[in-house]
Amino acid sequence: MVTSRDVARAAGVSQATVSRVLTSANPVSAELRERVLAAVDLVGYVPHAAARTMKTGRTGAIGAVVDDLASNPFYPELLQELSDAFDDLGQRLTVWTAGSRSDAAIRSLRQGLVDGVVFTTVTPTSTEFASAVDSRLPLVLINRTLDDVDCDQISTDNVAGGALVADRFAAAGRRPAFIGGPADASTSRQRLTGFRARLTELGAALPPAPWEIGDYTHDSAYRAMQRIIAEDAADAVFCANDVVAVGALDAAREVGARVPDDLWIIGYDDIALASWTSIDLSTVRQDARRMARDGARMLLERIRSPSSPVQHVRLEPELVTRGTSGR
Amino acid sequence: MVTSRDVARAAGVSQATVSRVLTSANPVSAELRERVLAAVDLVGYVPHAAARTMKTGRTGAIGAVVDDLASNPFYPELLQELSDAFDDLGQRLTVWTAGSRSDAAIRSLRQGLVDGVVFTTVTPTSTEFASAVDSRLPLVLINRTLDDVDCDQISTDNVAGGALVADRFAAAGRRPAFIGGPADASTSRQRLTGFRARLTELGAALPPAPWEIGDYTHDSAYRAMQRIIAEDAADAVFCANDVVAVGALDAAREVGARVPDDLWIIGYDDIALASWTSIDLSTVRQDARRMARDGARMLLERIRSPSSPVQHVRLEPELVTRGTSGR
């Protein structure tokens, strides 16, 4: 096995110098650095990660706890952006899927396998999140937020996003409804809050029970839309995300409802398929790339400066009008 | 900091016994095991992963190199199944996204951070794969395969899948075309091979140039379908995956082609959205769950028995007929 002793010999320096270069612990001259790195390549030395972690206390790895990868394309899109962002910042991203099977993530968090954690789908009852807080790991919440937690958070301004849709519905004199996600998801709750508040502000009609709470799936949205159609409860439906909106759209198309003439549907996220001809969905666009890049930087900053002030960042949403609503 | 010494004291056993229980290195009685684990909980001991890796040479982690997470929903669906499968088997799954930014995965592979690796989108030029082979890590190829590599592989029988579609087109006397993915993806190549071979076998028409090679995206499929329609080159199009099929379907719908009356489209994968009303796509179904579970078991078996015979497993595909083709 090639060791740092071989590197030292090939570079004509001491083992301590090799260690200084490889751990960036102390400054060395550019010339010395180049010489050592060339020797690393020459002898084919790979610093053993476990050994290095023991020495430096840093793993060079960031954990991401994600959920709904299979059911909502927004998350794989966001994860790809996160992966690119951390890679650009020289960090290794380790991904765990959350949900009922959270053992893997929790074990890793408690065992110090990562320097910090990103959560993209946190809820107040998330066991992974509780475990990260217990472990005092640097962490950042991306996309979903928690009100009463003192940590860095970045999301779209979902209240503003809901208001954008309310403005559009009210200007057209449409009777509004909302099909949401889980009650414990901040995203769905904030979008509804902004939507209702703006409708009230504008004096627009608030029908009796048009606020459907589902589980962010196509199926539950499909059933919610069937109820809305059966009761003729609305002619403009705001859906808490794009998958929900396609479920609603499919229910409308099944019964031959004319979209957008008789019925408007607006989603949230602007996932790739929202722009496909067969879907052609009006939606509130989230800037997933910026959310990922700014969130990644916030986490690295937190790792470097544990006591710097906590940041809550909200990005501006944008309404994208396509074939399921009027202009 | 709580150490294994505290656990030993609380359990009234030696530190060596604690170590035997926690590393499963040597058998201990069930009673002793229970006593030690109760003491672990009592004192809140978390074995330091890096230290344990140094001792046992096992990380308890499996790496997965994935790609196209953002562009093809089949991969997040497969990844979710893999995550569940490894979790059920008591392994931690670490995920890296491949592609142009492969540094993170390669560094982790070379630094011994995982006991084995899963590849879901391998190509002959994959640098991550080359690195895993160099590192002599146990590995398994899932979904995509490589002909001349001596390692465990599991995939759908894509040649058989292509033949299923050829049978259907030929029985209806339709003029076939194919819209593929990248030339270096085994999946697209094998599906075309099976499709052409069966068409030839049946004496069905093989038109001049209906074999379009794209990049497995909606956009390139959309443009390929526009060419096929402009040249009236076919009236039944087999698409190498479902995203490609929706791109083709969208191009057909844009120009008002009547599907399935005038034009059939059949995809591959049976991702969730294929069954949505707005898409309603006929497709060749892959059993992603079984592929993930059997692949996970194959890899753990390989880690335990490095010299056992290499397995190549092929799962049967199934044709699912929906609204974009005749029965």
In a domain, B324, yes or no: no
Whether residue B303 is found in the same domain as residue B281: no
In a domain, A327, yes or no: no
CB nearest A111 (choices: B49, B87, B279): B49
What is the spatial distance between Cα A250 and Cα B99, in angstroms, rounded to a whole number? Answer: 35
How big is chain B by its Cα radius of gyration, in Å?
A: 25
pLDDT of residue A57: 63
Token couple for A14: 């001491």
Query: Is A96 close to B91, i.e. CB distance below 8 A?
Result: no
In a domain, B325, yes or no: no
Give the residue, B190 or B48, on which the prediction is more confident. B190
In a domain, A293, yes or no: yes
Is the distance from CB of A280 to CB of A319 less than 8 angstroms? no
What is the spatial distance between Cα B164 and Cα A29, in angstroms, rounded to a whole number? Answer: 65
pLDDT of residue A125: 84
Residue B26 binned pLDDT confidence (cut-offs 50, 70, 90): low
> Which of A83, A135, A86 is closest to A113 using CA atoms?
A135
> Which of A169, A223, A216 is closest to A195 using CA atoms?
A169
What total of structural domains would you count in chain A?
A: 3
Provide the residue type at B34 as one letter: E
Whether residue A282 is found in the same domain as residue A169: yes
Which stretch of A36-50, A89-103, B292-306, B310-324 has the lowest confidence by average pLDDT? A36-50
In a domain, B320, yes or no: no
Is the distance from CB of A190 to CB of A243 less than 8 angstroms? no
Is the minimum CB–CB distance between A55 and chain B shorter than 8 Å? no
Whether residue B196 is found in the same domain as residue B279: yes
Token couple for A312: 């809550």
Beta-carbon contacts of A27 under 8 Å, excluding residues fewer than 6 positions away, are none
Is the minimum CB–CB distance between B30 and chain A shorter than 8 Å? no
Nearest-Cα residue of chain A relative to residue B109: A49
pLDDT digits (tens, 9 = 90+) for B141-185: 999 999 888 899 999 999 999 999 999 999 999 999 999 998 888
Beta-carbon contacts of A247 under 8 Å, excluding residues fewer than 6 positions away, are A179, A217, A218, A219, A220, A221, A222, A224, A225, A239, B276
What is the spatial distance between Cα B182 and Cα B220, in angstroms, rounded to a whole number? Answer: 11
Residue B327 binned pLDDT confidence (cut-offs 50, 70, 90): confident
Whether the pLDDT of residue B83 is over 50: the answer is yes
CA angle A151, A152, A154 (to 5 degrees): 135
Q: What CATH number does the domain containing A10 carry?
A: 1.10.260.40
Closest approach of chain A CAs to the CA of B48, in angstroms?
A: 5
Whether residue B294 is found in the same domain as residue B152: yes
Token couple for B153: 């592989």
What is the spatial distance between Cα A266 and Cα A241, in angstroms, rounded to a whole number? Answer: 9
pLDDT of residue B25: 47
Whether residue A97 is found in the same domain as residue A211: no
Token couple for A281: 């969905």
* Residue indicated by tokens 């060596």: B16
Instruction: Label residues B270-290 b or e (16+ Cβ within 10 Å = b).
Output: bbbbbebbbbbbbbbbbbbeb
A250-268 mean pLDDT: 97
Provide the residue type at A91 as one letter: Q
What is the spatial distance between Cα A63 and Cα A92, in angstroms, rounded to a whole number? Answer: 9
CB nearest A50 (choices: B53, B97, B218): B53
Is the distance from CB of A210 to CB of A236 less than 8 angstroms? no
Beta-carbon contacts of A112 under 8 Å, excluding residues fewer than 6 positions away, are A53, A59, A135, B48, B49, B50
Whether residue A117 is found in the same domain as residue A49: no
In a domain, B321, yes or no: no
* Residue indicated by tokens 């969905």: A281
Query: Is A110 close to B46, i.e. CB distance below 8 A?
Result: yes
Query: Is B112 close to A49, i.e. CB distance below 8 A?
Result: yes
B267-284 mean pLDDT: 97
Provide the residue type at A236 as one letter: A
Q: What DSSP state is assigned to residue B317?
A: P
What is the spatial distance between Cα B287 and Cα B259, in angstroms, rounded to a whole number? Answer: 27
Whether residue B37 is found in the same domain as residue B16: yes
Nearest-Cα residue of chain A relative to residue B48: A111
3-state secondary structure B40-86: HHHHCCCCCHHHHHHHHCCCCEEEEEECCCCCCCHHHHHHHHHHHHH
A133-159 mean pLDDT: 93
Residue A33 binned pLDDT confidence (cut-offs 50, 70, 90): confident
pLDDT of residue A25: 47
Which stretch of A165-179, B18-32, B239-253 has the lowest confidence by average pLDDT? B18-32
**DSSP secondary structure of A11-49:** HTS-HHHHHHHHHT-S---HHHHHHHHHHHHHHT----H
Edge-to-edge strand order for the sheet containing A264-269?
A: A211-213, A176-180, A236-239, A264-269, A282-285, A318-320
In a domain, A325, yes or no: no
Residue B11 binned pLDDT confidence (cut-offs 50, 70, 90): confident
What is the spatial distance between Cα B204 and Cα B193, in angstroms, rounded to a whole number? Answer: 15
Whether residue B173 is found in the same domain as residue B103: no
Q: Beta strand pairing status for B152-156 and B139-142?
A: parallel
Q: Which of A2, A92, A222 to mutate to test the interface with B (most CBs of B within 10 A)?
A: A92
Whether residue A253 is found in the same domain as residue A208: yes
Residue B204 binned pLDDT confidence (cut-offs 50, 70, 90): confident
Residue after which a domain boundary falls, among A39, A56, A73: A56
Is the distance from CB of A209 to CB of A242 less than 8 angstroms? no
Whether residue B151 is found in the same domain as residue B236: no
> Which of B127, B122, B186 is closest to B157 using CA atoms?
B186
Whether residue A282 is found in the same domain as residue A310: no
pLDDT of residue A145: 92
B140: containing domain = 61-156+288-315
In a domain, A50, yes or no: yes
- Distance from first CA to last CA of chain A, Å, rounded? 68
Residue after which a domain boundary falls, among B31, B56, B81: B56
Provide the residue type at B134 as one letter: D
Q: What CATH number does the domain containing A189 carry?
A: 3.40.50.2300
Is the distance from CB of A18 to CB of A25 less than 8 angstroms? no
Whether the pLDDT of residue A41 is over 70: the answer is no
Query: Is B75 close to A76, i.e. CB distance below 8 A?
Result: yes
Q: Beta strand pairing status for A264-269 and A211-213?
A: unpaired
Could you tell me the sign of the dihedral formed by the alpha carbons of B108, B111, B114, B119, in that order? positive
What is the spatial distance between Cα B152 and Cα B158, in angstroms, rounded to a whole number? Answer: 17
* Residue indicated by tokens 């549907």: A265
Which stretch of A89-103, A114-128, A264-278, B63-77 has the lowest confidence by average pLDDT? A89-103
Nearest-Cα residue of chain A relative to residue B87: A104
Query: Is A254 close to B277, i.e. CB distance below 8 A?
Result: yes
pLDDT of residue B307: 92
Whether residue A246 is found in the same domain as residue A193: yes
